[in-house]
């Protein structure tokens, strides 16, 4: 079992499903509301755990009912809570999610809350986990100092780094330097490179820009178009499956957590992307974020039936 260290967020999700997204100033009636568990760090950690990884999540929640509920959920899931701190001054992070019943696409507003209090000292307290981990994964829903400290420790011990640059934030140039894999979606890719990604050619140019910034390998997730890779071993577009989405919340997170496990287990990059596509594809056929993430067995079955790969 490969060890995945994650510096990332824990949020409580409030999801509203509706026929369409409201226009500015519009009040509309939604179809239904769901309450669940989320945060990009948490979703990615749970995906890695369900794919067979030994996960250590470094995060923070508030000392409120939502925080307690999240900790209870993690214990039931079987993921260590050793490095999940409790803030006495900030509320548990929260995400407000709108989902289109027609397309399954979403819009999300995140209030970081206690996630913003995660400090470099909190990450250093888990340094022993970096020493023997197999891969480090992080995103942008905690403080920048916590993210940079995680990157520093991973590089100190020579561990591969997967950086999901979401949600968009202004970043110091040194954040990109030495990143083994960066995994933006097409929107985030445009934010960081200034290049709209509407075709494989656009993706190639955007990837070149990211590599000029110091990244070794680029994986751009393209929704129903699949995932585009460019890096040290070449470039290719990996198509995704033909499963119909009903809720895309957490799709990218599922992809990232699954990719980390697959790559840490020694799968080649293309196979690791296909495995991650399989996990993500199943997740979008279900409602919710953490609740939609499939098991390893389900993901392997889709990998075999769609891509013809048996692992």
Question: Is 253 a known active-site residue?
Answer: yes
Asked if residue 32 has pLDDT above 90, the reply is no
* 35-94 confidence digits (pLDDT tens): 889 999 999 999 999 999 999 999 999 999 999 999 999 999 999 999 999 999 999 999
CA distance 115 to 9: 6
Task: Choose the CATH number for 3-9+40-62+119-307 among 3.40.1190.20, 3.60.70.12, 2.40.110.10, 3.40.718.10.
Answer: 3.40.1190.20
Count Cβ atoms below 10 Å from residue 106 Cβ, excluding itself: 19
Q: How confident is the model at residue 210 (pLDDT cuts 50, 70, 90)?
A: very high
- Annotated domain spans of the chain: 3-9+40-62+119-307
Residues 117-140: pLDDT tens digits?
A: 999 999 999 999 999 999 999 999
Cβ–Cβ under 8 Å, residues 77 and 46: yes
Q: What is the spatial distance between Cα 132 and Cα 2, in angstroms, rounded to a whole number?
A: 10
> What pTM does this model have?
0.93
Mean pLDDT confidence for 236-240: 95
Q: Cα torsion at 76, 82, 83, 86 (round to 10°)? A: 80
C-alpha span between 254 and 277 (Å, rounded):
9
What's the mean per-residue pLDDT of the chain? 95
- Beta partners for residue 220, in sequence order: 228
Strand partners, 15: 34, 97
Q: Spell out the alpha helix ranges (H) of 105-214.
A: 120-124, 127-131, 144-156, 186-193, 200-212
Percentage of the chain exceeding pLDDT 90? 83
- Asked if 183 contacts 255 with a C-beta cutoff of 8 angstroms, the reply is yes
Catalytic residue among 54, 180, 202, 253: 253
Is 240:274 a contact under the CB 8 Å cutoff?
no
């Amino acid at each position: 079992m490969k060890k995945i260290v994650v510096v990332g967020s824990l949020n409580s999700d409030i999801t509203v499903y509706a026929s369409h997204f409201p226009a500015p100033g519009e009040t509309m009636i939604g179809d239904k509301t769901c309450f669940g568990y989320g945060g990009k760090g948490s979703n990615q950690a749970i995906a890695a755990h369900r794919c067979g990884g030994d996960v250590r999540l470094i995060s923070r929640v508030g000392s409120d009912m939502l925080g307690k509920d999240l900790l209870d959920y993690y214990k039931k899931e079987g993921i260590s809570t050793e490095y999940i701190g409790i803030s006495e001054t900030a509320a548990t992070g929260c995400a407000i999610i709108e989902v289109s019943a027609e397309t399954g696409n979403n819009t999300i507003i995140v209030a970081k809350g206690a996630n913003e209090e995660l400090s470099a000292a909190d990450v250093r307290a888990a340094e022993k986990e970096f020493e023997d981990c197999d891969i480090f994964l992080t995103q942008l829903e905690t403080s920048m100092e916590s993210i940079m400290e995680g990157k520093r420790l991973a590089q100190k011990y020579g561990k591969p780094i997967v950086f999901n640059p979401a949600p968009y934030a202004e970043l110091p140039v040194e954040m990109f330097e030495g990143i083994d894999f960066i995994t933006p979606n097409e929107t985030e890719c445009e934010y960081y490179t200034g290049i709209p990604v509407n075709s494989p050619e656009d993706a190639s140019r955007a990837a070149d820009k990211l590599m000029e910034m110091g990244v070794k390998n680029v994986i751009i997730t393209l929704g129903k178009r699949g995932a585009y890779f460019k890096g040290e071993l070449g470039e290719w577009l990996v198509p995704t499956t033909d499963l119909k989405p009903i809720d895309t919340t957490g799709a990218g997170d599922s992809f990232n957590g699954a990719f980390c496990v697959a790559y840490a287990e020694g799968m080649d990059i293309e196979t690791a992307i296909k495995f991650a596509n399989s996990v993500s594809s199943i997740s979008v056929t279900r409602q919710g974020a953490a609740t939609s993430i499939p098991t390893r067995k389900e993901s392997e079955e889709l990998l075999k039936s769609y891509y013809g790969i048996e692992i």
